[in-house]
Every structure is written in structure tokens, then in C-alpha cells.
Structure 1
Amino acid sequence: MKLQHLYDTIKNNSLSGRYITLSDLFPILEKLSATCAMTVEGHSVLGANLYSVRWGSGPNKILAWSQMHGNESTTTKALFDLFAFLDSPGNLKAAVDSFLEKNTLLVLPMLNPDGAETYTRENANQIDLNRDAKKRSQPESQVLRSVFERFKPDLCLNLHDQRTIYGLPGPKSATLSFLAPAANKKRSLTASRKQSMQYIATIAATLSEGLAGHIGRYDDTFNEYCVGDTFQRLGVPTILFEAGHYPNDYQREETRKYVFFAFLALFQISVTTNLDYRAYFDIPENNKMYRDVVLRNALVSNNERPISLAIQYKEELHQETLRWVPYLDALGPDLPLIGHKEIDIAGQQILINSHENVFVNEEIVTLTYKNGGSIEDFLSF
């Protein structure tokens, strides 16, 4: 992709991996305060600052927020790549200046710093902030709604990560998925929703060269408790970003790059064409067809017939280090799942944790052939 060299020059290398906390962002925010407006909009349950960063001064207002779920950091990394680019746009300075003249971009880069610290989806009160749009029982939810009402955005960007289970026809992993949230149970094509669809179609077309087949459309079932659905219902075009799995990219560094490219396309800094909203429906829907590892043709518990076993990683934080811990997710003779990594056991019997009997949801500490030899290396990446 033509933007690859640009990205290599502006990528914020001080942020990497999946475990991103407020302490990682604060030094960068301090430096950014010299070139953009930074504000403390409120505080989390445990008293952490909820920062906003403002770029531009134009009449079109864009509101974005990331890490509403504390363990979903890919879009946060991409936002800070975007900030670095806006600060030093290189040969795209004219396009960036035009964007900043026409638009005001207000970003809450980490809405759930307490959850980010413990690498959990929920906040410190164990509440999913993306199911708190109606009650607004949490201080973080109240801050987001207060900013929304005061800022009066023309476009909202709800930035998330999705699990590695999502795939697309091909089959291919769903690296980026988007959604124009429904505004009601009928999933009506309201004016704001059509606008969201048009934006998404344009992003997908722009990224199709480098990410062909890896761009999906998320399920649009209406949920009145979700923030994106709520803002869409209030008439503000809203786009859900779901940063997913790129092959062999469990740290989501490649995915982060494509999120950055999506921002450039959305902001008309780098775009191939503007498409009609109906092109949104040409984007294939996600399905839950993938697991991290699938073992084929394995014998377990002295079964006569080989079966397949699906293994899924759970991300677990241990002393500020993130580990990917394998669990047995499913098994069966005709398992309709695809592995990001596929291993043919060739009819040999395997033992999980030295046992012949295996159990779904069991953590896999050891994985061996019964006749000797470890196959645990197959679970690494």
C-alpha cells in the first residue's frame, strides 16, 4: 500500500502490544498538549483522569472514544499513530490542513482506564460501559454522555477490538469489521444510519487493495443499552470499529496500521472514491468460524474414530505481563471450525494435562502424544 512508508515514519513505537494503560499514554499526552488541546473531562471509578484530545477548529464535529473496554487497545494505538501524523503530516500536509480547517476532532483515547489497568472488559465496578448507555450508572458513562451533549458531534466513532473467532468467506480472518448501528428494533435505514453506511463503504473500498477479503460487517441487532445504538437513535451518524485478527498478528500491530489507514480514508485524507450507502451491504457479515488452533485427526479417550479439537486462547494478565493461555473450546468428529493454525495429528492419540479424558473449557497446561513427545510448541505463536 502506498501509505506504508508514511506509516513507518509516524508510527508511535512507544506503544506496542496489547496491554496499554493510562501510564503508557500519559507521557505522550503531555507532549501532545503543546500542539493540541487536552482536557480532563472527568474521572473513573478509581479516580483516574479521563482525558480528551482536540484537533482542528472546523464546523464539522467528530467525536471518538477508545478502550471503553479496558482490554481492547488496538484502536488506542492507532489513534496515537493518527495524532503523530496530524502533528507531522509530511507530504500530506495540505490534506491534513484542509481536514483540520473543516473539522474538529475530539477524542477520548481511554474511556476505561481502570479496566485497562487490570486488562478487563468491565470498569472497576464490573460494569460493561457499552451496556450502560441507558442507565448511565457509571462515572465513565456519564462523562461520555456529557461530552456528547456538550460537543454536539456530527459523527461518532465507537472504537473496539473483536475476538479472533471472527472470520469471513474465503475463509479469511476478520481483520477489520465495521457497523452502522441500528437506531431501532426494525433496523430502519434512517438518515444518520445511511450516512454511517456510506462512510463505511468508502473506508472498505479504500482499504480493499491491502486488506482484500479481511473486511467484514458486524451484526446489527439493535440494543438500546449500547452506546452506538443510542447515539444513532439520537440522529448522529455513528460507526463501530472492530479491530480483529490479522494472520499471525496476536499483538495486533498489523491491525493497528489498517485502523490508521481507515482513519485517513474516513477523514478524506486518503480515499479512492465516495460510494453510495448501499455498497455497505456488499461487505460480508462476520461469522464465528475461527478458533486459534484446530487439531485434526486426533484420538482422545481411546475413541476409535479420530476427531478434531478446537483450542482458544484466553488473554490473562499475570504481574503486568499478558499471557495467552490455551483452553479446549470444542471437540467433535465433524467440527465446523477453522484454525488460525491447523495441525494434523495423523490419527495419533493425544493427552491433555497427561489425561486421556478431555474436557471442554479445560486449561491446557501440557499437550502430548500418548506414545511420547510434546506438541505444545504448536500452541505458540
Structure 2
Amino acid sequence: MPISQEGALKVKVQKFGGSSLSSLKHIRRCVSIVERAVSEGFSVVVVVSAMGSYTDSLVDYIEAFDVQDNDSSDVVLSAGEQVSCGLFTLALGEIGIKAISLMGWQLPIETDGFHSKARIRSVCVEKILDYINQKYVVVVAGFQGVYLGRLTTLGRGGSDITATALAKSLNAISCEIYTDVEGVFSTDPRAHAKEAEHLPQIGYSQLLEMSLKEKVLHSRALDIARKGVSNILIKSSFEPSTSVQTKIVDNIEELQIFGLTFSEERVMIDAEKQCLLTFLEQSLIEVESISVIGSNASAILEVSEYRKIDLPAGFKCTPNLTLITIVGSSFLTEFENLNKVLGVLESADVKYLITTEIKIVIGLPDESFVHVKKNIINTLRQISYSNTEFTQIENVS
């Protein structure tokens, strides 16, 4: 049960992702962020991911063995967060800050028994509170929990889940998610710098749609945050002195923000509806989007996920697709806007299309995407919608 924030205790949860911790230099920079929060009088709980691409290396080791053992795989995969946890604690001690490292099983964070994709059942924060009262910074290994004495992991992006679960259980004043960019942008600034517009605020539903494509924040973390974290911020660990950030808010109706994501190297699978859904359930792979029309269904996967499966007879595969996702607040209920967007696609070979109240998902062959990308961006800019952040984006020539 969440603790009361009455009295002197001001708890702040700060989560640092893999790109923020990719070297000792990066770790020390993150430590300076924690140091500032401590100097401002906050009790800080740090959640860390594995350093850089460390988890990817561990996955490669696991895949070298021709055996399916998610229990043992979790023991391997959780090692990255354990290394980060220890190094971060040492770095805090180096500058004179008392700190203690804790693994998920030491708290404990109790999960169900689904190894590699476990879900949190309960979080015990008594040890954290004991150390906070002794003026320690508590550094927690993200991504991991425990089930019947066995270590479990929460799935890719699980450190986000750990951070929001702790923030909720501690009734934290804020949960700060540090990445390598200054908050959330209308599209990925690392890949589309000219088109990317910073969003100072974004609604939970909108961010959820964008996170499914750009991995901004884990969807399960968003679900936890919406139910019990009062103040969640996405910030940059690379520019810690800047005030640029994105605040996640609940009232999306007033924001009317557009977001645009491009997800390349996607594969579409088509089959009879029940056959496809049963196959996906049994395969335990991650699916980005599913469309059901009558008795048929289509699913969009990353290439890396597609490589994990053997496609049954009768299933159709369409490779080399780019998935375009446009996110807004209710703008698709206005047919004028929808017609403008779809008009851009008339000459494109659209393979996949879904529309909802707040998003449109379009699957195109890679070669078609190259030709329509600029037109889509410019069309969204020209849509007359009051107070829309996306209208600040310049025409792409």
C-alpha cells in the first residue's frame, strides 16, 4: 500500500536507461543528477537498467544454446541490471553520498511465474524506507523480481515498470525517466531530426500509442503510472542542466497534439483470424499491431520477432514494410482531417490500415514510404487544428 507523503519525507524516483549508463563517464553524469536532487532535500530512489547494449550481448549468449529454459535465461538476463546497480552505488560513494544497492528479490518485488515476461503482483518498500530514514540513496536493479524464490524478469523495458511500481508504492512526489533525448518528440529526433518537434506535455493514451512504436516508455509502466503516480517526467541525462522535459498528463482533450512515428523493417503476417490469433498466443512473440477484418486477420511484427517463428502452411508473409503511426487527440473523428491524410496515400501501395479515435496506422512497402513521407508530414502541418503542437513543424522540402 502506498505510504503517506505527509511530513518531511519527499521521495523522488529517478530511473536511468541503458543509453544513459553506457560507460563509467555516463554513470558519473547520472550520479550528478542524483546529487542535485539530494542537495535539494529529496529522498532519492534510483532505478537502473543494464549498461548500453549489455542485455543484447547476454541474449546472444543465451541463443547460442539450443534449449528453451526461461528460468535459467532470467538468471543470465538480470545480470546486466545487477552490474549497473553496483557501479552506480560505487559512483555515489565516490562523491560522499551514502548509498545502498538492492536487487528486486531483496525488496522483494513479487511477480507471477511467467519467466522473461513476468508481471508484478506486489512491491514491498519497507527496506527502502528504512534506508531512506538513515539518509541513504537507494539504488534498485530494474527489470527483475522474484517468484517462489526464483529470479524473474519483467520483459524488455522492464526497468520502466520497476520505476513506476516503486513510485506508486512509495507515493513519490515524482518519477523521472532519464533517456538520451530531452523528453518526447513528435517523431524520433535521432532518426528524423528536421521533422521532430518537442512535446512539453502529452496525454497517457497518446504516449501509449507512440511508445508501442518508439519504445518511449513501456506500456505496462504507463498503465501503472496512470493508476497511481501523480507526476511523471521524461528528461535527458545528457543535458541534465536543461529545463526541457515532457510531462505526462491525464487531460488529453485539451492538448490536441500530433505525434508521428516511422517504424521500418517490419513484417506482416496474414491468415484466417482464429488460426493467426492462436498461433501468436502460442508463439509468445511481441506484436506491434493487429487488424481483424471479417474472418481474416493481419499482424505486424519486427523482423527480429519474425525470425523467432516458423510460419505455418497457409500463412502469408509480406516483408520489407514501414509502419507509419499518426497519433492525435480525437482528430481522426473529423473526416476532413482523415480524408486529407488518406488522400496522400492514394498513389501508395498500402498493405495495412487501421484507424481509431486517436491514431491511424499505415503499413507501406519501404519503397512507397520513401515517396510519401514528406507529403504526410506536410499534410499534418497544414491540417487546421487549434493549439496543435505539430503545426510548428516546418514544411519538408
Say which structure, 1 or 2, has more relative contact order (CA 8 Å, 6+ apart): 1
Specify if TM > 0.5. no
Could you state the TM-score of these two structures normalised by the residue count of structure 1? 0.31
